[in-house]
Amino acid sequence: MDTKESYAVITGASQGLGKAFAENLARKNINVILVSLPHQNLKELAHRLEEIYHIKAHYYEVDLSVNENVMKLTEWLNSSFQIHILINNAGLGGTRKFTEVSSDYINTILQVNVAATSLITHQLLPNLLKQPKAYILNVSSMAAFSPIGFKTVYPASKSFIHSFSRGLHEELKDTSVFVSVVNPGAMKTNEDVCKRIEKQGFFGRLTLLNPDKVAARCIQRLFKKDSVIMVNPISWLMMKILPIWIKLPLMTQAIKREIEA
C-alpha cells in the first residue's frame, strides 16, 4: 500500500491514547491528520511528528459535540485527502450521580461518543472504500460489557460503539475496508487520572493501562485484521465470566469509592 499521499485520521489525538496512536503510525511512516479540541497543542504535536519521523502531519481543531462541526471536518477531509485509516478515538467519560448532572452533560457525552463516531465513519467511508486497503478502528471500552452506577451514560455509549463496530465489520467484510474495535480499560494518561482510578480499589487498578503499549498492540492487531482487539485479557475475562448481578454492584461500588474519595 502506497502511504506516501494517503493519511490516517485520528480523533482525540492531542493526548493519551490518541497521541500514542499518532506517534505509532508516524513511526511506521504513515502520514497523519490529528483531530482534537482547540487549545490542546495540536499544532506543536503535528510539527514534532513531521520533524522526528519525516512524515506529513496536518491538524484540525474542533468540538465534535456539535454535529455541524463534524460535517465541516469530514467535508474538509474528503476534499483534501486520500484516507486509508480512520481511528475514532475521541470520547468523553464522566463520573457523577445521574440526578446531579445537567442535560448538556448527557448530550455532550452522547454527541461525542455516539453521534460523532457514527457520522465521521459514515462521511469518510466512501473515501476509505476508494483505497486498495483501508482500516477503521473504533475505541470502545471495557465498560461496554456492563452497566455501571454513577457512570450511567458512558457505558451505554460504549456499548453502542462495540455493537456498531461489529455490525459494520460484518457489512463491509467483502470490501477493501476492514473494521475493528478495541475495548481498553482506564489509561495512565496523567497523574490525576492514575490517582482517581486507584481510588476505585483493586478492580480499578486491574484495568489501568499504558497508552503507548495499548496503541502499539492495537495497530499491530488492526493490520493483522483482528475484528475485536483485547488489550487487557484478565479484566476482559472477569467481565465475561462474572454474571451481571455480581459485576454490576462490584463496579458501581468501585466508582462510588472514587466519588467519595
Domains plus CATH for the chain?
6-191+208-232 (3.40.50.720)
pLDDT of residue 192: 59
Section 106-116 average pLDDT: 97
Helix spans in the chain (H)? 16-27, 42-53, 67-80, 103-110, 117-129, 153-171, 191-198, 202-206, 211-223, 233-241, 244-260
- Counting residues of the chain whose pLDDT is more than 70, the rounded percentage is 89
**Of 85 and 250, the one with more pLDDT:** 85
Specify the higher pLDDT residue, 240 or 224.
224
Residue 1 has a pLDDT of: 46
Distance from C-alpha of 204 to C-alpha of 191, rounded to nearest angstrom: 15
Question: What pLDDT score was predicted for residue 164?
Answer: 98
pTM of this structure: 0.89
Compute the average pLDDT of residues 55-68: 97
Which of the two residues, 167 and 246, has the higher pLDDT score? 167
The three grid cell numbers given for residue 183, joined into one nine-digit string: 475495548
What average pLDDT does the segment 113-123 reach? Answer: 98
Residue 147 is inside which H or E element, if any? Answer: none
Assess whether pLDDT exceeds 60 at residue 196. Answer: no
Q: What percent of the chain has pLDDT over 90?
A: 70
Q: Looking up cell 484478565, which residue turns up?
A: 234
Backbone angles phi, psi at 136, to 5 degrees: -120, 130
137 vs 144, more confident: 137
Positions annotated as catalytic residues are: 154, 158
Please tell me the predicted confidence (pLDDT) of residue 94: 81
Quick one: which of 113, 115, 104 has its CA closest to 67? 115
Q: How confident is the model at residue 207 (pLDDT cuts 50, 70, 90)?
A: low
Q: What contacts 24+ positions apart, CB below 8 Å, involve 66-72? A: 66/111, 67/111, 67/115, 67/116, 67/119, 70/115, 70/116, 70/119, 70/120, 70/123, 71/119, 71/123
**pLDDT band (50, 70, 90) for residue 56:** very high
Helix, coil or strand: residue 228: strand
